[in-house]
Amino acid sequence: MKISRIGILALATVMSLCSCSGSGSSEDDGVGLAVVDNGGQSFNPNVPSYSFPEFLTKIDTTDTLSNISYKSFDESLVTEVSTQPFEGKECLVSCMGNYIYKQGGFFGVCDKEGEPIVAADTFAKAEFVSPTLLRMYLYDFDGSNFVYADISDKSEPKIIEDYSFKSSNIKVSERRQEESDRVLLYIVANDNTVGQTGYDTVTQKDVSELPAGINAKKAYTVTKDGAYYILTFDEFYNYTIYEGTYAKIDVSIAGKAGSCYIMSYEDNIEAKTLIDSFAHFDDDNTDTREDDFISFDFSLYGEDNYIVTLYSSGKLISQGVRDGSQYYISVKVDKRCFGDLVRWVDNTVSREYDIPEENEEQEK
Q: Which pLDDT does position 37 carry in this prediction?
A: 39
Q: Per DSSP, which regions of 96-169 are E strands?
A: 98-103, 106-110, 116-123, 125-130, 133-137, 146-150, 158-160
Q: Which pLDDT does position 31 carry in this prediction?
A: 28
Q: Which pLDDT does position 324 carry in this prediction?
A: 87
pLDDT tens profile 278-322: 999 999 888 899 999 999 999 988 888 999 999 999 999 999 998
Which residues are within 8 A (CB) of 289 and not within 5 positions of it... i.e. 6 or more apart?
none
Domain spans of the chain? 5-66+246-363, 75-160, 167-243
Instruction: Specify the CATH number for 75-160; select among 2.40.10, 2.40.128, 3.30.750, 1.10.3470.
Output: 2.40.10
Query: Residue 263 is which amino acid?
Result: M
Q: pTM score, two decimals? A: 0.75
Please give the average per-residue pLDDT across 40-53, as a whole number.
62
Please give the average per-residue pLDDT across 254-267, as a whole number.
92
First to last CA, the chain: 38
Give me Rg for the CA atoms of the chain. 27
Residue 201 dihedral angles phi and psi, to the nearest 5°: -140, 150
